[in-house]
A and B are shown apart, each in its own frame.
Chain A
Amino acid sequence: MSQSLAKECNEAKERYDTCFLKWYSEKYLRGIGSLENNECSELFKQYSKCLQGPLKERGIDKMLVEAREDNKENDALYLGRKK
């Protein structure tokens, strides 16, 4: 797997990525299993928590606000939702 932008999160990221890949290939693609509260949820929480600090330090959290706003059009297009 690739690295995280924050070295201290590499381990948490690797654990989560490995879990997700297994879930994705063995469950999601076969139409079984759910993302909510699954075997990877706790790992994702830990990984995300680790990232929060580094994202804020680099000012990326602010840039994401605008990027997500810009992306709403894509959500409407690809999720078939109304804006």
Chain B
Amino acid sequence: MKVFSNSVTFNYSWEEVSIANWQKYSPWNEKCTHVIAVDTLSRTVDPATGILRTERLITCKQSAPEWLKSIFGGVDESQVFETSYIDPHSKTVTMVAQNLTWSNLINVQETVIYRPLNDHQTQFEQAAKITALCGGWQRIKSNIEDALVKRFHENALKGREGFEAVLAMSRKVFAEEREREKMALIQAQAVNIRMVA
């Protein structure tokens, strides 16, 4: 088994980050083109804790080294099952993901946590456990795990860059929307004043 971990500070509030998180794989993110689809499977709020629990299916398409591809039957599309828990009281976003495809060959489990560092910054912690299950051959198992850790690391870098772009765009769009609403309100008030005068 190999472990991969990563931590990043984003210069955005926890609220902004948790909103932008839902749009991480939108067209605003040009880095994570390996994620080709995101589908929401379920969404509930736990009545006892107020925690928002969401299940999503993430579809990835990524080229792999030839030797790895042949072990996986030449298919380069895979699915990941992600469950997220958002606790607005403790301001925590926790996301756990596991691979659905090839689960008889490899097991990748990832945990991501977003927590506020302060009012304007959010800390991102990521940890992944990667295990190749092809019983027996140690060296093959180790090579597969190494290749997956490397790929995980590359994707993490792309993910961070891409998410920064989404955060910046999200802040811009929200600000523009607030400005539009303000202008509409001012215009409405001006009309009212004119009508009353």
Contact = CB atoms under 8 A, between A and B. Distances in A.
In the complex, which of the residues A5, A60, A67 has the most CB atoms of chain B within 10 Å of its own CB atom?
A: A67
Nearest to A36: B45
Nearest to B107: A70
Contact of A35 (B52, B59, B174): B52
Contacts of B26: 1-2
Contacts, number: 98
Contact of A60 (B19, B45, B57): B57
Given A5-B37, A29-B15, A21 B46 contact: no
Interface in A38-80: 44, 47-48, 51, 55, 60, 63-64, 66-68, 70-71, 74-75, 78-80
Interface residues of A, number: 38
Interface of A: 1-6, 9, 13, 16-17, 20-21, 24-25, 28-29, 31, 34-36, 44, 47-48, 51, 55, 60, 63-64, 66-68, 70-71, 74-75, 78-80
Interface of B: 15, 18-19, 22-23, 25-27, 35-41, 43-46, 48-49, 51-53, 55, 57, 59, 79, 81, 83, 85, 88, 94, 96, 98, 100-101, 103, 174
